[in-house]
């Protein structure tokens, strides 16, 4: 083998390794977007509301985790459970105070309220925690890189992907196999018929907000650990990108939210690696525009006629 052939093979191998490394990073980021997108898609599937405060619930979940770690020093799993439970209670409170009174109001009223709640939570966090970013303690997860051949994968990446997939599978099982999950599907299909069948719609909607908010907190904790900072506006961009993921996959569909999250994570990571980090956000939101123009129901969505 000539020196030139060896150089080309080694260069090609390095390029392939870098590409695989970016795919792994894309899976990690996409996992976070996917679990956040699940919150959007669950709420929309039940009451046809785009909950634009969901990104701020994610942010509050990260703050809950930060406070728990600082105050108690609990292990990661305990911190995650505390954060998800507190976020679930926050989600129920938001639904009860802000959205429930508008259940029969025009959709635009609920949408404006969601935007208002988003701004309220941002400013509430700003008042309580101040504007300076809080640094998530580095010992929440032991960050030891794991080598798989020439690939280097961080423990945070592995934990993020595994936890995200675990909760997605668990949610799918809950929706399809449990009584509350079947009630959610019934309310999603026909709220009035569900009432006639004896389903407690208010409780079902509250459970939906609780689960969606808990998943938002999961995304917030994983995001804060991956990027090491927690601050009042941290939920804006991940929340918007998760919304794009939900629309891309088919909003209202759990598999669509998962697929959309992974696709957006891949697109963002590949763009940053091979084009420019300055273009990554533009390309992600450009995907939203393209989807809304050519297939507004998303990849897995189906066109349905709506009676007027």
User: Residue ranges of the domains in the chain?
Assistant: 26-231
**Is the overall model pTM greater than 0.85, yes or no?**
yes
Mean pLDDT of 125-154: 82
Confidence band, pLDDT 50/70/90 cuts, at residue 268: very high
CA distance 260 to 118: 23
CA distance 128 to 122: 10
3-state class of 230 per DSSP?
A: strand
DSSP element (H, E) containing 162: helix 155-177
What pLDDT sits at residue 89? 96
Mean pLDDT of 34-41: 90
pLDDT, averaged across the chain: 86
What pLDDT sits at residue 146? 76
Give the contacts of 200 (CB within 8 A, at least 6 positions apart). 183
CA distance 56 to 110: 17
């Amino acid at each position: 083998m000539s020196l030139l052939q060896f150089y080309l093979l080694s260069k090609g191998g390095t390029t392939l390794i870098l590409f695989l490394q970016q795919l792994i990073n894309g899976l990690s980021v996409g996992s976070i977007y996917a679990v956040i997108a699940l919150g959007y898609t669950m709420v929309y599937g039940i009451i046809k509301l785009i909950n634009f405060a969901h990104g701020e619930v994610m942010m509050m979940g990260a703050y809950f985790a930060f406070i728990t770690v600082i105050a108690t020093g609990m292990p990661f799993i305990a911190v995650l459970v505390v954060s998800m439970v507190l976020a679930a209670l926050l989600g129920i409170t938001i639904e009860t105070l802000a959205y429930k009174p508008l259940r029969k109001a025009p959709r635009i009223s609920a949408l404006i309220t969601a935007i208002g709640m988003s701004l309220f939570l941002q400013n509430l966090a700003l008042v309580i925690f101040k504007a300076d970013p809080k640094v998530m303690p580095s010992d929440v997860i032991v960050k030891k890189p794991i080598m798989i051949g020439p690939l280097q994968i961080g423990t945070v990446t592995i934990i993020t992907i595994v936890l995200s997939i675990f909760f997605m599978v668990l949610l799918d099982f809950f929706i399809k196999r449990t009584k509350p999950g079947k009630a959610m599907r019934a309310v999603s299909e026909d709220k009035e018929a569900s009432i006639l069948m004896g389903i407690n719609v208010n409780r079902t909607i509250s459970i939906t907000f609780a689960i969606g908010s808990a998943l938002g907190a999961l995304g917030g904790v994983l995001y804060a650990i991956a990027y090491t900072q927690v601050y009042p506006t941290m939920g804006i961009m991940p929340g918007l990108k998760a919304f794009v993921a939900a629309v891309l996959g088919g909003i209202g569909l759990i598999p669509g939210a998962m697929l959309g999250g992974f696709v957006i994570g891949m697109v963002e990571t590949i763009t940053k690696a091979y084009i420019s980090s300055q273009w990554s956000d533009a390309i992600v939101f450009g995907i939203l525009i393209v989807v809304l123009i050519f297939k507004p129901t998303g990849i897995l969505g189906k066109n349905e006629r709506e009676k007027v």
